[in-house]
Amino acid sequence: MKYAALKGMEDIIAPDIEVWQAVEAAARDIFGRYGFQEMRAPVLESTDIFIRGIGQQTDIVEKEMYTFTDKGGRSVTLRPEGTASVVRCFVEKNLHTLPPPQKLYYIGQMYRYERPQKGRFRQFYQIGAEAFGVAAPSMDAEIIMMLSNILQAAGLSGLNFEINSIGCAACRPQYRQALLDFFGGMINEYCPDCQRRYEANPLRILDCKVPRCIELRQGSPAVKDYLCADCRTHFEGLLAILDSFGVSYTLNPNLVRGLDYYTKTTFEVTSEHLGAQKAVAAGGRYDRLVEEFGGPATPAIGFAIGMERIVTLLKESQTLGPKTPKVFVATLGSAAEMEGMKIVEALRAAGVWAEQSYGSASLKSQLRKADRTGAEFALIIGENELNSGMAQWKDMKKGGQGEVAINSVAGFFSGGIRTDE
């Protein structure tokens, strides 16, 4: 009997894990500079939170959720995205009573029952951020620039920022009607999903990836022509800030996003090097969601980065090797073995990765082991070395060798002492 991880769920192990850790460290660093605090929400929530937060008529809620009944008979769901949980927490913990803006970020697994393929998994990681309490476009600009800085700090370049505004409760109905009028006569020719979207949320037809639908919707009304004065001013304000900071972006009038809760600004970051699954991050403003969750009216905006997709891009541009210890301590005889263990511990205490051979073996086999671990140096201690107080070191890469006092090994390998002189 051999066990395997579930389809669409992957183990992340060395050497890849180092790319993940580096990206997470870069993100945490940038979040800190922008005043975002980490939050860790449960991965399992009451199902209604996602239905309410994401919207009944979305791909996620209609067909992608891991929903089941727990032993207490409650319907629970593994989170498919982060925003609904963050908003639930924001309202539950009364974070709106704290001085705005409240800025939160998270890093963690999401679950969607999708068809696994390149760049698409059933368990995947997102790094996300949400800022509550500011309606002004300067917050939209800050969020977009922070996202750009995170991606840059992670080592990515050549990404395209696509931006749109999808209006608000005041102007969306007119735009919706314009779309209904446009699609109306031809709707039977669209895919079955789009035919359903026509009734439920015609904006989402603009998001359909089916080639025939893309063709049919050429020339559909552009949302920018329907924005109310408030939405228009907001959008123009945002673009003006981005322009003055030299942030490059593309206006994409079809960028409507798959989630129902967005208002005004929506954005997506894409890469041309990823094939079909080219979105590496996406986000937008959601000024009504906190109210929907029973909190006071609170404007908010956020984004989520798809970790697997940026790790894929980063792995293309760097070669990953295994990590190797700095020192391998080889010993001969039980007295030396004890001394060797002390040295290994002292090296570790001094911040150096040190390994030992665990149990007795010939010097030859210990050095072979040192070589296999990729250690930079071998340190050899036998009877003679114990008596003289001097251990032998060997540079495993460059071939040099020499002596070092047993009681100063930790300083020798951790400090500035040069071994190549």
How many chain residues touch ligand ATP (CB under 6 A)? 17
Question: 112 or 394, CB closer to ligand ATP?
Answer: 112
State the nearest-atom distance from the C-beta of 264 to ligand ATP, in Å: 16
Q: Which of residues 208-267 bind ligand ATP (CB under 6 A)?
A: 258
Residue 397 CB partners (closer than 8 Å, separation 6+):
376
Residue of 79, 103, 112, 217 interacting with ligand ATP (CB under 6 A)? 112
Residue of 9, 22, 187, 279 interacting with ligand ATP (CB under 6 A)? 279
Q: Verify binding: residue 81, ligand ATP, rule CB under 6 A.
A: yes
Give the interface segment with ligand ATP, choosing from 97-105, 120-128, 232-240, 405-413 (CB under 6 A).
120-128
**What track of x and - describes contact with ligand ATP for positions 290 through 329 (by CB under 6 A)?**
--------------x-x-xx--------------------
Question: 31 or 50, CB closer to ligand ATP?
Answer: 50
Question: 267 or 393, CB closer to ligand ATP?
Answer: 267
Half-sphere exposure of 86 (CA within 13 A, CB side): 27
State the nearest-atom distance from the C-beta of 39 to ligand ATP, in Å: 18
Give the interface segment with ligand ATP, choosing from 20-28, 100-108, 198-206, 278-286 (CB under 6 A).
278-286
Strand partners, 107: 127
Q: Verify binding: residue 280, ligand ATP, rule CB under 6 A.
A: yes
Angle, CA of 58, 64 and 66, to the nearest 5°: 130
Question: 235 or 262, CB closer to ligand ATP?
Answer: 262
Q: Verify binding: residue 126, ligand ATP, rule CB under 6 A.
A: yes
Residue 97 CB partners (closer than 8 Å, separation 6+):
none
For the four alpha carbons of 320, 326, 331 and 334, in that order, the dihedral sign comes to negative
End-to-end CA distance of the chain: 56
Question: 242 or 281, CB closer to ligand ATP?
Answer: 281
**What track of x and - describes contact with ligand ATP for positions 26 through 65 (by CB under 6 A)?**
----------------------------------------
Give the interface segment with ligand ATP, choosing from 24-32, 36-44, 166-174, 276-284 (CB under 6 A).
276-284
Question: 127 or 139, CB closer to ligand ATP?
Answer: 127
State the nearest-atom distance from the C-beta of 388 to ligand ATP, in Å: 59
Q: Verify binding: residue 111, ligand ATP, rule CB under 6 A.
A: no
Question: 279 or 350, CB closer to ligand ATP?
Answer: 279
Give the interface segment with ligand ATP, choosing from 216-224, 247-255, 277-285, 330-338 (CB under 6 A).
277-285
Q: Which of residues 61-80 bind ligand ATP (CB under 6 A)?
A: none
Best CA proximity match to 61, nearest among 81, 32, 87, 42: 81
Asked if residues 127 and 29 have their Cβ atoms less than 8 Å apart, the reply is no
Question: 105 or 124, CB closer to ligand ATP?
Answer: 124
Q: Which residue is nearest to ligand ATP (CB)?
A: 306
State the nearest-atom distance from the C-beta of 269 to ligand ATP, in Å: 8
Question: Residue numbers of the site for ligand ATP (CB under 6 A)?
Answer: 81, 112, 114, 120-121, 124, 126, 258, 277, 279-282, 304, 306, 308-309
